[in-house]
Structure 1
Amino acid sequence: MNCFVTSPRVWRESGVNVSKSLSDQLQNLGLVDKSKAKKAAHDKRVTKKKKAKSKIPDGPSTHELTAQAMAEAQVKKAEKDRAIEAQRKAKREQAERLAQARDIVKSNGTLAKGDDRKYRFTLDKKIKEFWVSNADFERLAKGLIGVVQMDKRWMLIDPEALIRVRERAPELASFLAAPEVADPDDPYADYQIPDDLDW
């Protein structure tokens, strides 16, 4: 009998029950004996079990992925919280230093006032000026006192206090004239500039 059958009608005519398994059908046709069919079924089961046991998972399970994502999110959140806390701490420290500088200026400084002369100086490539008395002008020019700007007003302050203010709040505008050092080789050292001469 021919093994190759093209239609179910031919199977029915040959007396083979199509609803049976392939191995049963081949046994009924006499193409395979019973022991070979059992051996083939046994080999198939063993191979299937080996594949199931040796099958390496394709990747982490959904539970593992979720746990890993949660751990990464916690790490990122902790880093973000630390950065925010560091910014807050820096702002608090800056505000404290500025408050300390203001206290130093208030306790050691006096408001620059007077209408005798304008004192001019360069600060950040800009010329600043304000009115002072003649005595304060001379002290500023010699570096005996300095100035610091607070609340848009210039305050006169002694050099030691000005140094403390600069240490705590370098962002405050301040100026201290460098005291002039006399040149020992100056040929005009013996000639004094008249007090009434104003540049």
Structure 2
Amino acid sequence: MALSLQEQLLKAGLTDKKKVKQVKQQKHKQAKAQQRHKVVESDEAKLAAAEAIEAKKAKDRELNQQTKLEAEKKAIVAQIKQLIEVNKQPRGKADVVCNFTDGTLIKRMYVGTETQKHISQGKLAIVKYEQAYELVPMPVADKIAERDPLVVVYRSDTISAEDQKSSEDDDWYADYQIPDDLNW
């Protein structure tokens, strides 16, 4: 059995029994005082280490949150891409120009007459896809708009407040007949 440090020091002659007894009594008194007063000796190094650990944990949580958000964004982009690729509609025989706005720019797309009717009736919507524009059915456009509303460029079923106001101003013209010889 290994000897304790006190016993080793006694054996080597570096201390005497009186000092060993004195150190034991002092340690016993400190332990009793701590139990009575519930005083915990605070070690500055331990506190600094604990603070550093907490700071590292907080930083790790924040980094994990950021990577999680980035992964979610990538997943949403992939879902939108898949929805567009699977559901894009043919434009038909490109003989009619369909003008629409993308932000502040006016864009044009050549489509067939049937496709142009579907766009104006609100059955098809125009979405932005990889620097180009595609046509998708309205239910798919709704799903895409839930994920990212900026991808859906034009849908005829949503009328802006300005357009609604101008259509209300035009209602007073409804009583007048439009001449047949007038070409638009």
Is 1:119 aligned to residue 105 of structure 2? no
Q: Pick which of 99-108 and 146-155 moved more.
A: 99-108
Is 1:96 aligned to residue 82 of structure 2? no
User: What letter matches 1:188 in structure 2?
Assistant: A
Alignment of structure 1 residues 27-176 onto 2, 5 Å: 64-112=43-91, 114-176=93-155
Q: CA deviation at 1:108?
A: 1.7
User: What letter matches 2:60 in structure 1?
Assistant: D
- Secondary structure of the equivalent of 1:157? strand
Q: CA deviation at 1:178?
A: 2.7
**What is the CA RMSD across the aligned residues, in angstroms?**
3.2
Mapped partners of 1:110, 1:190: distance in 2: 39
Mapped partners of 2:62, 2:157: distance in 1: 41
- Secondary structure of the equivalent of 2:108? strand
Task: Select the residue among 168, 174, 179 that pairs with 1:188.
Answer: 174
Q: CA 1:123–1:65 in 2, change beyond 3 Å: closer, same or farther?
A: same
User: Does the 8 A contact of 1:146 with 1:158 survive in 2?
Assistant: yes
User: Does the 8 A contact of 2:92 with 2:115 survive in 1?
Assistant: no
Residues 139-188 of structure 1: per-residue CA shift (max 9 Å, x gap): 212322101111222111111110001112334243201378997x6543
Provide runs of 4+ in structure 1 moved above 6 Å.
Answer: 179-183
User: What letter matches 2:77 in structure 1?
Assistant: L
Residues 58-104 of structure 1: per-residue CA shift (max 9 Å, x gap): xxx9x822222211111111111111111111111111122122222
Mapped partners of 2:114, 2:178: distance in 1: 19
- Secondary structure of the equivalent of 1:110? coil
Mapped partners of 1:193, 1:79: distance in 2: 74
Stretches of structure 2 that go unaligned for 5 or more consecutive residues are 1-40
TM-score (norm 2): 0.60
Stretches of structure 1 that go unaligned for 5 or more consecutive residues are 1-60
Q: When you count helix as a share of all residues, which structure comes out higher?
A: 2
In the comparison of the two structures, how many residue pairs are matched?
Answer: 136
User: What letter matches 2:53 in structure 1?
Assistant: Q
Mapped partners of 2:127, 2:179: distance in 1: 29
User: Does the 8 A contact of 1:142 with 1:179 survive in 2?
Assistant: no
Structure of larger gyration radius: 1
